[in-house]
Amino acid sequence: MELKRIVAKDLRSATERAVSLYGKDALVISHELVNGQTEIIVATDIQADGAELFEASAAPETPRTEATDFRELLTQNLEGAIRPDGPHADAPSSTQEDLGDRDRIRAREIVDLVRQEMASLRRELRVGQQGLGFVHAHSAASSSAARQLDRALENDHAPSGLRMLLSEELAQIDSIDQGLVRLADILRTTLNDTPALEGPLTGLHALFGPSGAGKTTMIARLALQASDAFGPERVTVISWADSKPGAWNHIQLACSRVGVECVRCQDPDLLHSLIEDLGTRATILIDTPGIEMIRNRQRLADLVPEAQLHLVLPADVASHQAERLLRSFPWQSLLLSKLDEAHHAWGIISALSHTPAVLYHQAGSGFSAAHAQDMSVSHLVKFAVDRLGANSLDIPVQTDPARMKSSVPGGATWAAASRPPAASI
């Protein structure tokens, strides 16, 4: 497989050119604006006459047969880190076995994520190709503001299906700010308006999420809230069955900064006994491993059925990953992390439109009160549309200068115009 670069005036033209050059199976890896034009990176199969380029490699290769598939090859490459001469060679044999098991599991999960992402990209490409005629039909009758807003949605990585659904609703808007207000109203109506879950949490709670989702930081924030409400001596954090290198040190450091007790439970089956020994704590928070989420969730639910289970996802999570995890099990709440690092939130918005969930009332990256950000359906919609409003000003479109002057610089007017009443948040 090799990568090809295509530059065109917009994403539609670039996609059409990719299909004409490399066939309908060409996979679009990424796209972005470069000097006012759209650049896409396409993955294509390597031609047979280029095979000799790889014959000079001196590194030993795993024998490959026609039956060797993508999953096997990628797993073999990822598991190279756990060879006897790998980075953990000096560790004790028991530690090597634990790290090896974890690395093998993580390797398989990475393979699954890559396959899911590729399948999602192919589906998105098919939806985009199927919707070209629909978009063309509506673009001809749409106002210039509607076309500009659609381009902004495209550049902000909004899913093609969402753009198709919104195109008719936004076809005759008179200005960008009017379109942003209308868009926010549609999204708030579509998403589940269940009130966000309020803190501090009491009782027994376990947080799940993929590796790197920000579980530890979110647990520290929840522990700080509970500590302020009930006192630090009545709050305990448990690190449960996590063999990831550095995970225990990370949770220890976070708990020491908020001043609450932190204990480690390496044997998963001892969790129930440990919780009984902790006595009458006001809040017990369990930090879970970032691998084998489905298996660990079921195991923890069997060990402590009274625990309330929460899902932690980054705000810019891919829609297919968020929807898959939301549909896997019922969750007490969804906690969004890394809000200040997210460039857009269309993935989680798309997932919540298909699979409603109760949001936790705060989001962000840090665990102190200064880093906390309010979260609800209205806040999530405002977060997405504010950034869309700022991005729409960078899309060149022929329109009336007077109308453009009344548009919102940076989304400030939109935020004031569309801010919902306090009671609805």
For 98-109, the pLDDT digits (tens) are 555 656 665 665
Mean of pLDDT values over 11-24:
82
14 or 220, greater pLDDT? 220
Q: Is the pLDDT of residue 85 over 50?
A: no
Range from 17-31, 153-167, 182-196 that averages highest in pLDDT: 182-196
- DSSP class of residue 358? P
**Block residue for tokens 């490399």:** 22
**Structure-block tokens of residue 408:** 């919102």
Tell me the mean pLDDT in the region 72-92: 48
Q: Do 74 and 117 meet the contact criterion of CB atoms below 8 Å apart? A: no
What type of residue is 290?
Answer: G
Residue 120 has pLDDT above 70, yes or no: no
Determine which of 50-54, 191-195, 243-247 has the lowest per-residue pLDDT on average: 50-54
**pLDDT for residue 255:** 92
One-letter amino acid identity for 96? Q
Residue 127: CB atoms within 10 Å: 15
Name beta bridge partners: 286.
206, 238
For residues 190 and 184, give the distance between their C-alpha atoms in angstroms, rounded to a whole number.
Answer: 10
pLDDT at 112: 64
Give the number of other CB atoms < 10 A from CB of residue 242.
22
Over range 75-95, report the average pLDDT. 47
Query: CA–CA separation, 30 vs 318, rounded Å?
Result: 14
Question: Please, what is the average pLDDT of the chain?
Answer: 75
pLDDT at residue 235 above 80?
A: yes
Q: Is the pLDDT of residue 221 over 60?
A: yes
Comparing 251-260, 279-288, 335-344, the range with the smallest average pLDDT is 335-344
The confidence score (pLDDT) of residue 123 equals 60
Q: What residues contact 356, with CB distance under 8 A and at least 6 apart?
A: 191, 192, 194
Decide which of 137 and 197 is more confident.
197
Give the per-residue pLDDT at 281. Answer: 94
Neighbour tally for 279: CB within 10 Å: 8
Q: 288 with 256: CB under 8 angstroms?
A: no
Structure confidence by residue, pLDDT tens digits, 294-345: 889 999 999 999 999 999 999 989 888 899 899 988 899 999 998 888 888 9
Which span out of 138-152, 162-176, 198-212, 355-369 was modeled with the highest average pLDDT? 198-212
Contact indicator for 145, 178 with CB cutoff of 8 Å: yes
The CA distance from 215 to 314, in Å, is 10
pLDDT of residue 411: 37
Per-residue confidence (pLDDT) for residue 55, from 0 to 100: 41
Residue 191 has pLDDT above 60, yes or no: yes
Would you state the pLDDT for residue 416?
A: 35
3-class SS string, 309-347: EEEEEECCCCHHHHHHHHHHCCCCEEEEECHHHCCCCHH
- Percent of the chain topping pLDDT 90: 28
Helix (H, G, I), strand (E, B) or coil at 407: coil
Query: How much is the pLDDT for 155?
Result: 85
Q: What is the mean pLDDT of residues 154-181?
A: 82
Instruction: Determine the average pLDDT of the residues in 353-361.
Output: 90
8: three-class secondary structure by DSSP: strand
Q: pLDDT at position 202, please?
A: 95
% of the chain exceeding 70 in pLDDT: 67
Convert 111-147 into a string of H (helix), E (strand) and C (coil). HHHHHHHHHHHHHHHHHHHHCHHHHHHHHHHCCHHHH
Question: CA–CA separation, 186 vs 183, rounded Å?
Answer: 5
The Cα–Cα gap between 320 and 317 comes to 9
Residue 358 burial (CB count, 10 A): 15
pLDDT bin (cut points 50, 70, 90) of residue 414 is: very low
On the question of pLDDT at 400 being above 70, the answer is no
Q: Name the phi and psi angles at 399, rounded to 5.
A: -155, 175
For residue 83, name the pLDDT band (cuts at 50, 70, 90): very low
pLDDT reported for residue 75: 53
Name the least confident of 31-45, 109-123, 319-333.
109-123
Record the tokens describing residue 329, joined without a space. Answer: 């099990």
pTM equals: 0.64
CA-to-CA dists, residue 355 to 118, 196, 324, 333, angstroms: 22, 15, 9, 13
